[in-house]
Chain A
């Protein structure tokens, strides 16, 4: 092993960074973390290095590309197109484009191992599963590495793949499965906000002078498709400052792409009022142009109040068919400031989506676009007894961070950073605290992959590690033994099987519960998690399943045994592996063990 490789497998873009493992390096020297440019098709027949690999997969048909124009340096006949060309061609033919595979990977409403993408593909187009699509991006990165670094085969290096902190146990396992499909060998997972914080540490080797014991760091990570919050506390261990991840937020499908699209829709509406209607292609062009216009308007020192956006005419009548519009600073301020980052009270929580009986399946986008409300909800999460003294809280129970670290391209915009500071500081003021300090990171687009590579070094004992463990509490559903009432399902209780913060590389036996499993017949259990209940010890039984618990995919086990027939009494044991994957085992009295598998194929009706 010569390198550690950090991969940011993003919803819209992926990136790769790496660092050399130097056995005799001084631990106070800043490690040399580098980015790898990723060769990819950018036009038919043109392969070029790009800093990011767009997480787009195109499934080419016979009439899509001229023969031989999809050749990659490492593959003369690729089955799929990944990256920039996939993204470009997908605009013209959306029915063959897979995007946001990562969001699908964490969507428990569908079978994530079944070929379901592209979601709206016409009949006859080959489909892939969310796991397959993620595996294709990872495979592209592996092969690109091998093409660029022939002396250090990818499979012989240590690889870290990042996942949102809000990914549940199933989504994490599926990510790992995708990595295995892609031919990865030595691979572990890392949470993205932690990776962003590691990137900050990597650039600030004097971090111990910048934070002090008792400080609480809020990481706000707003990517293209998701928003992720994490709280990291500065603690003490053996007389030295240490870091501990205290809380992660729920999975929020809301990001920069939604903001740019909202802006494009606004401009399209303004055009429609003037009598110009645009179609889906033109809206897409407008979407890209609005992003550029927004960035120009929000750039530091920008003075213009208005940016022109144009959509070039179709066909050979290019000039005559050009549509022009303008994005004004007022529009951007209003849309972002009121729509996505409104000034709200810390008691304003996001609206919950009402669940209708017939809900269209598709990605479960956040029902409330107000990021600040999601932040308020996150900071109001229940305190755990373990974190009791280490999380600073106000009188109302609101967690009160001392520092903020931003990550994600959206937060380049000063307007958004300022608004988040303003809202956060107003909340802190009400609780009697002074304003938060920004931790200035650079390179918001690559921090996650850089941080992952740094963490890889930390695993080799070459840097500081954030202690965290499982960021949720996990439960198995148990039907209570009450007399059956016709038409009403037996009430369900939840047995705590993995406590919040359970650390990697540990296991726990769940006391006090035995189940009789029938040999040769699959047994299925409902499976739940909670990011807010943090004090349930292993074996605790929750009588009332409120809104705090989210149902995940069911888990099942099939007891096969040659000696036994009939029923075998078993109890649960929970293991968190070194790679950060949660496993549940059934253990018989004589010590025989069977692993429970996630059943992502079907979901228990709610």
Chain B
């Protein structure tokens, strides 16, 4: 993929504006994003679940299982995934087709 180290912040910023718009639109169309913990970041929270994949404790974590702490990141969960069915005849390994312009 393209190495963007050499471009000015201005140029990267302009491109990201377009990319983010398209990425957000696609993501919101196919995946419904829900927070793992529906709380206010920065407030004291007691998580209802204890699955380490869903809730991660950071900082001065005690030896035993902590009961709660400050919510730093709400987390994201795919609430609903709505992907279009894959055409069986189509090569799923193709992410983007090559483009050839005829002038």
Contact B7 A320 (CB under 8 A): yes
Contact B90 A318 (CB under 8 A): no
Separation in Å of the A203 CB from the closest CB of chain B? 30
Is the C-beta of A277 less than 8 angstroms from some C-beta in chain B? Answer: no
Separation in Å of the B66 CB from the closest CB of chain A? 43
Contact A66 B11 (CB under 8 A): no
Is the C-beta of B81 less than 8 angstroms from some C-beta in chain A? Answer: no
Is the C-beta of B84 less than 8 angstroms from some C-beta in chain A? Answer: yes
Chain A residue at smallest Cβ distance from B16: A319
Name the segment of A45-53, A168-176, A538-546 touching the other chain. A45-53
Contact A68 B11 (CB under 8 A): no
Chain B interface extent, by class: 20 to 34
Separation in Å of the A318 CB from the closest CB of chain B? 6
Is the C-beta of B88 less than 8 angstroms from some C-beta in chain A? Answer: yes
Contact B87 A319 (CB under 8 A): no
Is the C-beta of A67 less than 8 angstroms from some C-beta in chain B? Answer: yes
Closest 6 A-B residue pairs measured CB to CB?
A324-B14, A46-B84, A322-B15, A45-B87, A68-B89, A319-B15
**Using an 8 Å CB-CB cutoff, how does the interface string of B1-27 with A read, 1 for contact, 0 for none?**
110100100011011111100000000
Residues of B within 8 A of A45 (CB): 84-87, 90
Is the C-beta of A438 less than 8 angstroms from some C-beta in chain B? Answer: no
Separation in Å of the B15 CB from the closest CB of chain A? 4
Across the interface, A68 reaches (CB within 8 A) one of B7, B17, B90, B99, namely B90
Give chain A interface residues in 558-577, CB to chain B under 8 Å: none
Contact A322 B11 (CB under 8 A): yes
Chain A interface extent, by class: 20 to 34
Across the interface, A313 reaches (CB within 8 A) one of B15, B16, B84, B85, namely B15
Residues of B within 8 A of A47 (CB): 84
11 residue pairs from A and B, CB less than 8 Å apart: A43-B84, A44-B87, A45-B86, A67-B89, A68-B90, A310-B17, A316-B1, A316-B2, A322-B11, A322-B18, A324-B14
Separation in Å of the A604 CB from the closest CB of chain B? 40
**Using an 8 Å CB-CB cutoff, how does the interface string of A67-82 with B read, 1 for contact, 0 for none?**
1110100000000000
Contact B88 A318 (CB under 8 A): no
Residues of A within 8 A of B12 (CB): 319
Across the interface, B11 reaches (CB within 8 A) one of A43, A69, A315, A319, namely A319
Is the C-beta of A312 less than 8 angstroms from some C-beta in chain B? Answer: yes
Chain B residue at smallest Cβ distance from A70: B87
Cα–Cα, bound, A316→B7 (Å): 15
Chain B residue at smallest Cβ distance from A42: B84
Among B7, B12, B15, B90: residue with most chain A CB under 10 A: B15
CB-CB under 8 A for A310 and B89, given A319-B12, A320-B7: no
Chain B residue at smallest Cβ distance from A324: B14
Chain A residue at smallest Cβ distance from B86: A45
Cα–Cα, bound, A313→B11 (Å): 11
Chain B residue at smallest Cβ distance from A45: B87
Across the interface, B2 reaches (CB within 8 A) one of A43, A44, A66, A319, namely A319
CB-CB under 8 A for A308 and B14, given A66-B89, A67-B89, A319-B7: yes
**Using an 8 Å CB-CB cutoff, how does the interface string of A339-368 with B read, 1 for contact, 0 for none?**
000000000000000000000000000000
Separation in Å of the A427 CB from the closest CB of chain B? 42
Separation in Å of the A196 CB from the closest CB of chain B? 30
Separation in Å of the B28 CB from the closest CB of chain A? 13
Is the C-beta of A483 less than 8 angstroms from some C-beta in chain B? Answer: no
Chain B residue at smallest Cβ distance from A71: B87
Across the interface, A322 reaches (CB within 8 A) one of B14, B86, B88, B90, namely B14
Is the C-beta of A317 less than 8 angstroms from some C-beta in chain B? Answer: yes
**Using an 8 Å CB-CB cutoff, how does the interface string of A400-443 with B read, 1 for contact, 0 for none?**
00000000000000000000000000000000000000000000
Separation in Å of the B43 CB from the closest CB of chain A? 32
**Using an 8 Å CB-CB cutoff, how does the interface string of A293-330 with B read, 1 for contact, 0 for none?**
00000000000000010111111111110101000000
**Using an 8 Å CB-CB cutoff, how does the interface string of B89-103 with A read, 1 for contact, 0 for none?**
111000000010000
Contact A66 B14 (CB under 8 A): no
Give chain A interface residues in 7-60, CB to chain B under 8 Å: 43-48
Across the interface, A310 reaches (CB within 8 A) one of B4, B15, B99, namely B15
Residues of B within 8 A of A71 (CB): 87
Residues of B within 8 A of A308 (CB): 14, 17
Contact A318 B15 (CB under 8 A): yes
Residues of A within 8 A of B16 (CB): 319
Separation in Å of the B71 CB from the closest CB of chain A? 33
Chain B residue at smallest Cβ distance from A321: B15
Cα–Cα, bound, A353→B16 (Å): 45
Chain A residue at smallest Cβ distance from B10: A324
**Using an 8 Å CB-CB cutoff, how does the interface string of B58-102 with A read, 1 for contact, 0 for none?**
000000000000000000000000001111111100000001000
CB-CB under 8 A for A69 and B87, given A316-B1, A317-B2: yes
Separation in Å of the A296 CB from the closest CB of chain B? 12
Residues of B within 8 A of A316 (CB): 1-2
Chain B residue at smallest Cβ distance from A314: B99
Cα–Cα, bound, A590→B16 (Å): 79
Cα–Cα, bound, A559→B87 (Å): 57
Contact A319 B90 (CB under 8 A): no
Chain B residue at smallest Cβ distance from A320: B7
Residues of A within 8 A of B86 (CB): 45
Chain B residue at smallest Cβ distance from A63: B100
Contact B2 A68 (CB under 8 A): no
Residues of B within 8 A of A319 (CB): 2, 4, 7, 11-12, 15-16
Residues of A within 8 A of B1 (CB): 316
